[in-house]
Amino acid sequence: MKIRSRTIGGVLPSTIITLFMAVSLPGFSQAQEARPFRLVVHGGAGTILKESMTPELEKAYKDKLSEALLAGHNILKSGGSGLDAVEATIRILEDSPLFNAGKGAVFTNEGMNELDSSIMDGATLKAGAVAGVKHVKNPISLARLVMEKSPHVLMVREGAEAFARQNGIELIDPKYFYTERRWKELEQAKEKEKAEGMKKGPAREATPAKPSGNSTADRAGDDHKFGTVGAVALDRAGNLSAGTSTGGMTNKRFGRVGDSPIIGAGTYANNRTCAVSATGHGEYFIRSVVAYDISALMEYKGLSLKEAADTVVMDKLVKLGGEGGVIAIDKAGNIAMPFNSAGMYRGYVLEDGKVVIRIYKD
Amino acid sequence: MKIRSRTIGGVLPSTIITLFMAVSLPGFSQAQEARPFRLVVHGGAGTILKESMTPELEKAYKDKLSEALLAGHNILKSGGSGLDAVEATIRILEDSPLFNAGKGAVFTNEGMNELDSSIMDGATLKAGAVAGVKHVKNPISLARLVMEKSPHVLMVREGAEAFARQNGIELIDPKYFYTERRWKELEQAKEKEKAEGMKKGPAREATPAKPSGNSTADRAGDDHKFGTVGAVALDRAGNLSAGTSTGGMTNKRFGRVGDSPIIGAGTYANNRTCAVSATGHGEYFIRSVVAYDISALMEYKGLSLKEAADTVVMDKLVKLGGEGGVIAIDKAGNIAMPFNSAGMYRGYVLEDGKVVIRIYKD
């Protein structure tokens, strides 16, 4: 009886009958069935068009997103934490060369891979993040380590890697991150830049081409900015969590950091409202404090998750010129996945293990 | 007549009479007099107690804060932008050894100074920030350069310095940042850590002492975390702007970055609501998205500037365990300077040039 009353504590009266039915079956795990637990994932937003996709590549993306979702789902199903599910899901995407995170990250102007990641626990508002790491296979796990084993939230570059080493995370040869596809993208980006420089006059090597001051001028080659991965979860304990991981943008310079490791911009989770992971043109997402703004619209203005996410992604970001999208989940298990770009790799899995994956606007 | 109608465009009917009176005097500058323009500054929050302060030191702090405020005030008075005023004000505090920013920044565990800064323009929501720079005399000016001359918002470490060099900012010898006072603070922090390590058993060099996961456990030596400087302004054009600059925390490791360079946490400005600069235990300020939360409470919940700033600093941050304060100004020129620590160096200057400086709770 103790188990039942504890379970009922946090739920609405209308679900009590369901709970009694569940509790009438043997075992605690059956009683847990009544609590929603869900996982949502994204693999980046951008100019993803059906006409430029092969059936094989589309299948590869869908299979990998499904695999990642099911790994997290199995953790949630057996009563594991949302943080564990988010981390496990993102690790699979980091390990896949398909996505711009971990293996398969895009190259910087110097031909390196600089990785950013963050994670947040909606129950405690604890958070961890790393930016500009070059020798860490799974940045999401390092972000979680920063959250759990340090008094800090954000560590950057060599310092973050020193922390990793001291906590038993093996540093790897950056060659691990190499993929031919991303190297070619860097070469193409540099060729394009050179051609543009020739048109304009004497090239000023590595000088920002446009003094655009965060303007929408720098929109050519949108693909270079996207491909971030992320996951948000509601676990059986009712806790929300969110995580994001990225390689940033192709041909990036000057130690540029986008929104992915910024709590409130690329990642946010709060049990009172929602969990959010963003993907898109990071500068606009930082300036718009995207992830926290969705939470604030729910908490302060009483908007639903869908209304709040749509307001930020489909209205406010569009007005500012910021392309991309978010995945979000609220404490009731509602899911939103708005994006204002051509496509966004996205999907979710519900209690019954049914996986839904989408890529284009549909 | 063109000037008058343009001036009247953005104001409430009740002020039209005042404006007509102003416009009846010769010259455009007279018409401008009716628009409020204000500047607020902070020089850090923390365990600042009257009993541990000498009259000479108190005078030195007050004089420098006044000098910084008046420099910004003169820019605003002559019709300059809030961004110019914020930058000029912060540069003076960065150049003073009294504050933990620029000259006088605290030392890292490795005996270096790593500087963070950010700036935001409330009219355009453009922003710029740098983190972990070691050779830049005035990080606030580099943050502004990032905002105005790059498509990015945040640049870190060597990359940010490469951008500085390419844009004509001279890199300096890190010895410039040395002050005996801060070096002694580092020595004391290390001594204390060693003594604590001896008590606990075998020292684990450079391992985070407490796996506190952002908890309030790491509160000893609070002074090491504070001393950030910042400024917020409302200029005659009605634009809000905010800037923040810091040396972070004494004895910091692992490339730790606090809230100062994080848009939404340490700095935020939006003409629709307010401009905010924060100072305090950065990890809590990041997790609480402090600066943007004040803006969101005003915009979405209809709170006044004072109500919103008090809610975040005196209630939400206190509940989470986050010590520090903010300065904030709204579009009507209202000012708020709440802090939940023992003291905060703070002050403001109004249209008539009268400067008010406060240090303790009073």
Contacts of B214 in chain A (CB under 8 A): 124, 126-127, 147, 151-153
Q: Is the confidence at residue A260, as pLDDT, over 90?
A: yes
- Quote the minimal CA–CA distance from A351 to chain B in Å: 30
Task: Give B32: exposed, middle or buried? Use CB within 10 Å, 0-12, 13-18, 19+.
Answer: middle
Gyration radius of chain B's alpha carbons? 21
Alpha-carbon span B246 to B248, nearest angstrom: 5
Q: Model confidence at A200, in pLDDT bands (50, 70, 90)?
A: low
- Residue B14 is given by DSSP the state G
Contact B136, B164 (CB under 8 A): yes
Q: Judging by DSSP bridges, how do beta strands B274-280 and B267-269 pair with one another?
A: antiparallel
> What does the pLDDT look like over A28-86, one tens digit per residue?
444 445 689 999 999 999 888 888 889 999 999 999 999 999 999 999 999 999 999 99
Partner residue opposite A208 with nearest CB, options B131, B150, B265: B150
CATH architecture assignment, domain B42-178+220-360: 4-Layer Sandwich (3.60)
Residues 154-193 of B with CB under 8 A from A: 154-160, 162-163, 166
Chain A: nearest CA to B324, how far in angstroms? 16
Which residue from A319, A325, A356 is spatially nearest to A48, judged by alpha carbons? A325
- Residue B197: the pLDDT is 78
Residue B46 is predicted with a pLDDT of 85
The interface predicted TM-score (ipTM) is 0.87
Q: Which two tokens stand for residue B164?
A: 């500085």
B343-349: strand order across its sheet? A256-257, B154-156, B126-133, B115-121, B240-246, B229-234, B38-46, B343-349, B355-360
pLDDT at B227: 79
Task: Pick A292's closest partner by Cβ from B120, B253, B289.
Answer: B289
Catalytic residue positions of B, numbered? 228
**Average pLDDT, stretch A232-239?**
98
pLDDT given at position B165: 97
For B60-93, the DSSP string reads: HHHHHHHHHHHHHHHHHHTT--HHHHHHHHHHHH
Query: Is A320's CB within 8 Å of B255's CB?
Result: no
Amino acid at A243: G
- B249 lies within 8 A of chain A by CB: no
Provide the pairing of β-strand A126-133 with A154-156. parallel
In A146-182, which positions are buried (b, 16+ CB within 10 angstroms) versus exposed (e)?
bbbbbbbbbbbbbbbbbbbebbebeeeeeeebbbeeb
pLDDT at res. B225: 55
pLDDT at B313 (0 to 100): 98
Name the strand (E) or helix (H) holding B277.
Answer: strand B274-280
What is the average per-residue pLDDT within A191-217?
A: 53
Identify all chain A residues contacting B159, using CB atoms and an 8 Å cutoff. Answer: 132, 253-256
H/E element, B95: helix B82-95
CA atoms within 13 A on the CB side of B95: 11
Tens of pLDDT, residue by residue over B252-300, are 999 999 999 999 999 999 999 999 999 999 999 999 999 999 999 999 9
Q: Which two tokens stand for residue B269?
A: 């400005």
Tokens of B270: 């939006």
Q: Which residues of chain B have pLDDT under 70?
A: 1-34, 199-225
Contact map slice: A 83-122 vs B, CB within 8 A: 120
Structure-token pair, residue B169: 């900012």
- Give the whole-number percent of chain A exceeding pLDDT 70: 83
Range with lowest mean pLDDT among A127-141, A241-255, B220-234: B220-234
Domain segments of chain A as ranges: 42-178+220-360
pLDDT of residue A222: 44
Top residue of B83, B124, B135, B152 to mutate, by most chain A CBs within 10 Å, is B152
